[in-house]
Amino acid sequence: MNFATKICDAIRALDNTAEAYGSKVVHTSEGGALLRRLMAKRASGEEVVFAALGDSWTNTLHRLVGPLTDWLDDEIGVSAPGYCSACNMVSVAQGATRSRTGEWFDVRYTGNPEAGGHGTRGGFGPEGAHAVTFEAGATMSFDTYPVAGQMSKWRIQYLVQPGGGSFSYQIGAGQSFQVDTDGAETYGVTEIIGSGAMVLTCDVTGVAGVTIAGVEILMPQAGKAVVNKIGNGGADARRFVDIPEDFFVAAMQSIAPDVVVICLGVNDKSYNTGLSAFRDNIAEMIRRVRLAAPNCDILLVGPGDSYQLGRAHEIPEYNATLAELAVSDGHTFVDLMDGLGTYTQANANNLYSDPYHVNVPGGFVNLKILSRPIAVAL
């Protein structure tokens, strides 16, 4: 059986037996629900770029992104760690290392005055986080794990602002380059080709310091995948919308995703977000993603249940809102509760580590649900 026949048979199987892929895998006659961008990239043998946006279910690797990355590595190979936040309050990307010297302030969340008052506007990176230093000589280094020095392409995402300082960056023993971040406020991206660890050094602090959002750690390889983890513990859909639109779009244009996975709802429940506001915020996130990557697939993921009393809405209501949006706008949707069940059921099956989060076995169950629409396209 050739590859084209295999794809056609997979599509036909999904059309005819949708229940086999979970009761809430949405497929519409308009064709928006199948991951067609992923299918096209696989058919042409190109590298596939995933971007996973979400809260702590995304940020903490074992809950969702780690199992997905491991599974994709087994299926088609994963070429590189992808995006890694500069903020130490965000977990490091799978397969990457991050270290810093000197004084750096970590910032996340819009309107949350962290980092000694430097975070009143919140984080600027695609996950709503960044790190800023006011110390000349402070460094930030990234590399790969467990084998160091394997990557060939690096992109640094940073903030240009009035009074910004300058930083130098170097890959391995290669040439050092300097970036001046003083200027009208905008989101900057610079790229360098080279093998080895990437070391970034603050040269001149300026009155506004040097602000780094994160680094893309890449080694493009045809036919393989990159999974960019863009998660932030405690985030809800509104916090993603609160990131300046031009910053978020510039960051996502650099990442250039083919498949964008959005898993939110747990903190929207915690913060008593109304269902209509939740839907509007998710729709706005998708609008901005599509400004950056017009042809990308959107895979909406309803999270697992949480045990919180006295909230206005429950997780199944948020997940139903995501499902409705998927049907109306032609996206793909899966519901992790299809595998986990309610919190009471999942906890009885030893799949939760606390009232809000799955443990390692729970992450494995999540993969069983998340991988189904992806597997069809591979």
Is 89 inside any structural domain?
yes
**Number of domains the chain contains:** 2
Which pLDDT does position 5 carry in this prediction? 42
CATH classification at residue 373: 3.40.50.1110
Q: Same domain for 180 and 148?
A: yes
Do 287 and 351 lie in a common domain? yes
Q: What 3-state class would DSSP assign to 250?
A: helix
Structure tokens at 112: 């949350």
244 in the same domain as 217: no
Domain end marker among 173, 188, 221: 221
pLDDT of residue 116: 47
Q: What is the pLDDT of residues 259-279, one digit of tens each?
A: 999 999 999 999 999 999 999
Average pLDDT over residues 206-227: 93
Contact status, residue 366 vs residue 67, Cβ threshold 8 Å: yes
Lowest mean pLDDT among 168-182, 196-210, 300-314: 196-210
Alpha-carbon distance 165 to 138, whole Å? 12
Q: Is residue 60 part of a domain?
A: yes
Domain around 28:
10-77+223-378
E strand segments, the chain: 48-54, 78-80, 82-85, 96-101, 104-108, 129-133, 139-144, 153-160, 166-171, 176-180, 186-193, 198-204, 210-218, 225-231, 259-263, 297-302, 332-335
Q: 3: pLDDT confidence band, cut at 50, 70 and 90?
A: very low
* DSSP calls for 252-266: HHHH--SEEEEE--H
282 and 377 together in one domain: yes
Residue 305 lies in a domain: yes
- Per-residue pLDDT, averaged over 350-365, amounts to 96
DSSP for residue 186: E
For residues 89 and 116, state if they share a domain.
yes
C-alpha span between 147 and 214 (Å, rounded)? 21
Tokens, residue 213: 């959002």
- CATH assignment of the domain containing 207: 2.60.120.1360
How would residue 19 be classed by pLDDT, with cut points 50, 70 and 90?
very low
In a domain, 4, yes or no: no
What's the whole-number mean pLDDT along residues 133-160?
89
Kindly state whether residues 235 and 377 are assigned to the same domain. yes
**Would you state the pLDDT for residue 10?**
39
**pLDDT score at 53:** 98
The last residue of a domain, from among 158, 188, 221: 221
On average, the pLDDT of the chain sits at 88
Task: Give, rounded to a whole angstrom, the gap between the first and last alpha carbons of the chain.
Answer: 15
Question: Is 327 a domain residue?
Answer: yes
Q: Point out the domain boundary residue: 193, 221, 249.
A: 221
Does the pLDDT of residue 188 top 50, yes or no? Answer: yes
The pLDDT of residue 13 is 41
Model pTM score: 0.89
Domain for residue 1, yes or no? Answer: no
Cα–Cα distance list, 230 to 127, 184, 313 (Å): 5, 26, 26
Q: Is residue 258 part of a domain?
A: yes
Identify whether residues 169 and 268 lie together within a single domain: no
Could you tell me the pLDDT band of residue 69, with boundaries at 50, 70 and 90? Answer: very high
In a domain, 2, yes or no: no
Q: CA gyration radius for the chain?
A: 20
Mean pLDDT of 35-61: 96
Instruction: Kindly state the average pLDDT of the residues 330-337.
Output: 95
pLDDT of 113 strictly over 50:
no
Which among 131, 307, 99, 129 has a CA at the least distance from the CA of 234?
A: 129
Listed range (2-11, 63-72, 247-256, 365-374) with the worst mean pLDDT: 2-11
Do 363 and 271 share a structural domain?
yes
Residue bearing the bigger pLDDT, 121 or 22: 121
Cα 64 to Cα 89, 93, 368, distances in angstroms: 18, 13, 10
Do residue 188 and residue 248 come from a single domain? no
Q: pLDDT class for 152, splitting at 50, 70, 90?
A: confident
pLDDT at 33: 63
Nearest-angstrom CA–CA distance, 52 and 33:
17
Residue 239 in contact with residue 59, Cβ under 8 Å?
A: no
The verdict on 47 and 173 lying in the same domain is no
Q: Are residues 251 and 352 in the same domain?
A: yes
Least confident window among 1-5, 145-149, 218-222: 1-5
Residue 211 shares a structural domain with residue 273: no
- Spell 163-172 as b/e; 16+ CB within 10 A means b: ebbbbebbbe
Q: What is the DSSP letter of 183?
A: S
